[in-house]
Chains A and B, each alone.
Chain A
Amino acid sequence: MAVLDDHVFAISQPEFLRSYRACLASVLLLRPHDTSIFSRDSTPAGEVHSLGIFAIAITAGIFVSVAILLFYTVLKYRRRAGDINEPPQIFGSTQIELAWTIIPILLIFVLFLGTTRVIFAVQDAPKPKNALDVTAIGHQFWWEFRYPTLGIVTANELHVPLSEANAPMPTFLKLTSADVIHSFWVPRLAGKTDLLPNRVNEMWIDPHETGLYEGQCAQFCGAQHAKMLLRIYVDSPEQFRSWVATQQETQQSHTSVEAATNALPTNATPAANAQDNTSAITPQQGRRVFEEQACMNCHTIAGTAANGRYGPDLTHLMSRDTLGSGIVPNGPQNLLAWIVDPNNMKPGTLMPAMHLTDVQNKQLVAYLTTLH
């Protein structure tokens, strides 16, 4: 996975901006884990950024004026030792009070006009014909991503194409939830939008740079709200096309597991070879465990009988970089630890420990690691 495409970066930003941003990024030591709202890499985030800077400038101006006035007043009019006379009593002044009513009204008017423009520009932006459609569904405590036009279902790691100025390809997200309220927030790309059960919200992004963009759930949703992490991979057009092609394959078409499992004797005849030996650590045996235990009730593996919708789709599990909604890197060791006791790695997760034997767990990992 290419993290940053410097060439694209260079043509989309003036030189001084580029060095300023690179400098800022290196000072904060954040990229690609940078989740600052001021690292704007998409139009919605950029619009908010400009408006935010404008508003901060106005409010900072007000703060400085009032602070200077206050400290000047305290210093100048503090009572000197021994002074026991009362100062002249002044009860008010209509002109002065009108002035500090009208000036704020004018400032607010200006801020309001700027705000209104951005609200409509971002929220009511027309959807281009070539926009990519994605449906994001929040679950306790992971993300489901469905690409209705491409027939892809994945989890926790969203892949979207780069949207260059000369070839815009924004991604329009429909957001909903399977259980409680969640909120989709990847600060570098856009503000957050909530995912509500029984309702569909919309948002859009048009990332200007390839790479990984991180975020997380921003609406308290239960025990593991903190570990409902979100990763968006912005791919170059070629990368995205090849990712789509991989994801569209079903497991039937590129593993030999199906045939092997069909060959299994159904009447528990003693196995003649390693493939039929139920204690052999093989993908075939792992698949058998997956389908005979409860795994397939909650998880889908396209091309097999497993079609549960409660947990993440595992069809291309190994194409994902992380497990458990971003909590650990994906790999056999973590996968095994996760299957043995999910609640140990993520207390409060809804996936139960299935209390399988060590052999069964290893067989499962052997199977799952074939799901590229």
Chain B
Amino acid sequence: MSTPTIPVAGGIEGALDRSHAPAPRGTYLDVVHSWIVTVDHKKIGLMYIGYALIFLIVAGIEAMVIRIQLAVPENHFVTPFTYNRMFTMHGTTMVFLVGMPILFGFGNYLLPLMLGVRDMAFPRLNAFSFWISAFAGILLYFSFIGGLGLTGTGSAPDMAWFAYAPLTERAFSPGHNVDYWAVGLLINGIGSIGTAINILVTVFSMRCKGMTLMRIPLLGWIYATVAFLVLVAIGPLTAAQGMLLIDRYLGGHFFDTQAGGSAILWAHFFWIFGHPEVYVLVLPAFGFANEIIPVFSRKAIFGYAAMVGATVGIAFISTSVWAHHMFTIGMTSFGNTFFTLSTMLVSIPTGIKTFNWLATMWGGKIRLATPMLFSIAFLIQWVVAGLTGILLSIAPFDWQLHNSYFVVAHFHYVLVGGILFMIFAAFYYWYPKMTGRMLSERLGMWHFWLMVIGFHLTFDFMHLPGVLGMPRQIYTYEADRGWGTLNMIVSIGSLVQAIAILIFVYNLVHSYFRGEPAGPDPWDAWTLEWSTPSPPPSYNFAIDPVVASRRPLWDLKHPEDPDSAFE
């Protein structure tokens, strides 16, 4: 370390804090107490992730009930009432209690570490946001036993996750199912907005010395964009839920068609939230790919500036595409044309990202460890999801495919094939940082291959019943339509996925106790989180880092060829 060009204060010894010794563990109660009162971004991040994993299992069980019911025609495994609750709660849970929390969890955990700072901008707001969201999830699930009491499935929401009016009005949904849904998500939204503000402020004003906007790891750009989208999207949803509650209890008529209200108004409000929400969920997956693909290809990300531009571009375009969920609702031909075009435009920045990932791999030395395997599967599955998205953006084709199983297959390709695969990749990649131990690679391989097989059995075949005319959200179907075999294959695939996910959960627990020690930088990576011990101490960095390029650890490891020489 003789050259003075090393961009981290104190040189590599300053960045790699080896003085840290784990604090002595207190009693069981002390540990619980420390987690409940914590304002440490890492602990809050881990709580978000744990909370989301619990609901991932719950919503997964709901998915299995759905698949058992649909495996054969005219099945009586559950009643229509239970089935409608299952798919409503499955969708609502996966979006609001799994997708958003797990992505907020990774964001919380990683952003301060990657930006070289000691915590989020507002640590107390951070804790508040987590706990209020956690309360919202519990409130939503209390509906199974609350309301009308412990009768069957209680009064769990049963009007589909998009809760179209006027089905949600009291004339058609008496009881409290809609109330649990609206109030639960309204409260959850408060937490989401708190976290979004926190992320925005952190990324834009909490970076370490030398980290200019164009040196932020791409994950930082992604999360800033996501936070912006959350602020744009959650507002209309919260407003609509407020209006719905006014309709239900204060004599309002916003969506009450029997008194001159508008059913379409709800659809607009919901999808103005709903489509940006898709990108809220998918952009962090892109962010993980932006970090993982370069490290495992041993090359810098190809076209950093274009990636930033594409991210922001996707966010802007995504706020003008919502009505592609409404091609069949009776818009004018001009309206249908406009939303066809705006939707198709999303594919351009998305295409840029895909090709930039490919170019990053091109000419690299690709290490096929589990994080990279999941990323490669993500890439190809994401391309398919995007292409079926283009098919659905074609308004006339959507007149046929809308609300069919083709759409269900399409968005599961996005949510599972895209997002969930990248979340798995992120787990394999950052779990060593979070726990200090590697996840078992052997179990990881089982998890990966079973997941790939199960995913494709389920969601490739799920497109076909849609093409053959099977609508979504039906509790059973006619035996003579020819959908039976396909649905059976889909159900078998979902079972394979369930086994894969159980292996993954086992791996998380097993490796926590038995995994190989990871050391600070097991993947030979380049961003600042890998300069801290694993797990990082509560203060993150012993000395505030100073960076001179996008890849500070590359500069440290390659003083003869630092990135900083080219920036």
Contact = CB atoms under 8 A, between A and B. Distances in A.
Interface of A: 28-30, 33-38, 45, 47-48, 51-52, 55-56, 59-60, 62-63, 66-67, 69-70, 73-74, 77-80, 83, 85-93, 96-97, 100-101, 104-105, 108, 111-112, 115-116, 118-120, 122-124, 140, 179-181, 183, 185, 187, 190-194, 196-199, 201-202, 214-226, 229, 347-348
A111 B394 contact: yes
B298 A347 contact: no
Contacts of B474: 216, 225-226
* Residue of B341, B355, B366, B396 with most partner-chain A CB within 10 A: B396
A197 B473 CA distance: 20
Given A38-B467, A48-B396, A115-B396, A74 B352 contact: no
A111 B395 CA distance: 11
Given A73-B358, A91-B300, A119-B337, A112 B80 contact: no
A62 B390 CA distance: 11
A97 B356 contact: yes
B92 interface: no
A26 B201 CA distance: 62
Contacts of B475: 225-226
B84 interface: yes
Given A37-B469, A222-B172, A55 B397 contact: yes
Nearest to A121: B396
Interface of B: 79-81, 84, 158-160, 164, 166-167, 171-172, 257-258, 260-264, 297-300, 302-306, 328-330, 332-333, 336-337, 340-341, 344-345, 347-348, 351-352, 354-356, 358-359, 361-368, 376, 379-380, 383-384, 387-388, 390-391, 394-404, 467-478, 480-482, 558, 561, 563, 566
Given A90-B363, A179-B166, A192 B351 contact: no
Contact of A226 (B477, B482, B563): B477
23 contacts: A33-B478, A36-B468, A51-B396, A55-B397, A69-B358, A86-B298, A86-B558, A87-B298, A87-B365, A91-B303, A91-B566, A104-B348, A108-B344, A111-B394, A112-B344, A115-B395, A123-B333, A197-B166, A197-B257, A218-B404, A220-B84, A224-B80, A225-B475
Given A122-B396, A222-B167, A196 B263 contact: yes
Contact of B166 (A180, A201, A220, A224): A180
A213 to B, nearest CB: 11
A109 B361 CA distance: 29
A219 B81 CA distance: 16
Contacts of A120: 333, 337
B42 to A, nearest CB: 30
A164 B129 CA distance: 64
Given A37-B467, A190-B399, A201 B304 contact: no
A218 B471 contact: yes
Given A56-B391, A92-B306, A193 B330 contact: yes
A35 B390 contact: no
Contact of B79 (A74, A124, A192, A347): A347
Given A55-B397, A179-B172, A116 B340 contact: yes
A70 B379 contact: yes
B166 A229 contact: no
Contacts of A34: 482
Contacts of A196: 257, 263-264, 329-330
B399 A193 contact: yes
B257 to A, nearest CB: 4
Given A59-B391, A220-B159, 5 more contacts: A74-B376, A79-B365, A118-B396, A191-B396, A191-B399
10 closest A-B pairs (Cβ-Cβ)?
A: A191-B399, A35-B469, A226-B474, A197-B257, A201-B330, A92-B303, A59-B387, A79-B365, A198-B257, A33-B480
Contacts of B345: 108
A181 B391 contact: no
B395 A83 contact: no
A28 B482 contact: yes
B470 to A, nearest CB: 8
A73 B396 contact: no
Nearest to B468: A36
Contacts of B303: 91-93, 97
A198 B261 contact: yes
A131 B403 CA distance: 29
